[in-house]
Amino acid sequence: MSDGDDTVLVTTEGRTGRITLNRPGALNSLTRPMVLRISAALTAWEHDPQVTQVLVVGAGERGLCAGGDIRAIHADARAGGTASVDFWRDEYRLNARIARYPKPYVALMDGIVMGGGVGISAHGSVRIVTERSRVAMPETGIGFVPDVGGTHLLARAPGELGTHLALTGAAVGAADALLCGLADHFVPARLLPELAADLADAPVADVLPRYAVPAPEGELAGQREWIDRCYAADTVLAIVDRLAGHGDPQAKQTAETILAKSPTALKVTLAAVRRARALGSLERVLEQEFRVSCVALRSPDLVEGIRAQVVDKDRTPRWSPAELAGVSDAEVERYFAPLGADRELRLDAE
């Protein structure tokens, strides 16, 4: 399967279809052509009796995928374009498809796995993390809101752990990814090449027990008391107040972390995660996320957040509004309003 585009390498190794994200210089960040290429490979293998499972890996040593190409999104947002909307439509369709794929979908979540990288891995049926894994939905730091089904995953995490990860954008290691339901198995990174090679000849259900071991201890389990108590509040401001007033120094530090994020993105993110709990299926949540993303594309905070974190790298975004109190309930509701029949994302739930 070759068309001259080497940003995704599609190969067949024995019984396994292998997808390699191949932009290591950009931490394998996703573009629309990459999403379409992955989708085409999944279509071909779904009906190929010789391929019994799929393996997804990232090229290079730094990670599976750092997310969508946010420099491209920044340029599109500044120009008032629609390329990002087209990208998200195809990307979210792919996320839903991965979750429903009829053959084992094995994702090696080694190294950095963030944003869109979570979308192409954490909806799979076999999700493997290593001691190098750093898994995150860091969108609030760039004036955006967790997408790619991230609010669905985080809404289903134990207690208020998902709310914590959504608002802070914190990256977690292997044990915490397992605790939050973002991954299934821990395999030491040095064993991944051998595991991948064995998948050519045997089903993942037979191979994995030879490699999976308990993960090193994480951090979140010991923080559940203050996380569950503080994040149970009804508003972002109330959450921050509880964190700041809690006796644990980590809670107070977390309050400061949250206050550095986009106030608008924080309020919309909290609403999105809470609504995702009620929506149920991944498809309905992705449809909601599509609405939110389309509105965020036209918001000043997305352009400013990417500028500060990625383009100019001065790390001093000027949010508008600058404080939580300046973001009205009506403004939050605007992100969830229908887009119009011809613009909505419609996904069939199986």
Catalytic residues: 68, 116, 139, 147
> 9: which DSSP letter?
E
- Look up tokens 């290691």; give the residue: 173
Q: How many degrees, rounded to 5, is the angle at CA 65 between CA 63 and CA 68? A: 150
Beta bridge partners of 113: 65, 135
* Contact present, 54 and 106 (Cβ < 8 Å): yes
Other CB atoms within 10 Å distance of the CB of residue 104: 18
Reading the block at residue 139, the tokens are 């969108």
Collapse the DSSP code of 10 into the 3-class scheme (helix H, G, I; strand E, B; otherwise coil) and give the result. Answer: strand
- Look up tokens 């994040």; give the residue: 231
Rg (CA), the chain: 20
Burial of 346 (0-12, 13-18, 19+ CB in 10 A): exposed
Give φ, ψ of 96 to 5 degrees: -65, -40
Q: d(Cα 181, Cα 214) in Å, to the nearest integer? A: 15
Q: Reply yes or no: is the peptide bond before residue 321 cis, omega within 30 of 0.
A: yes
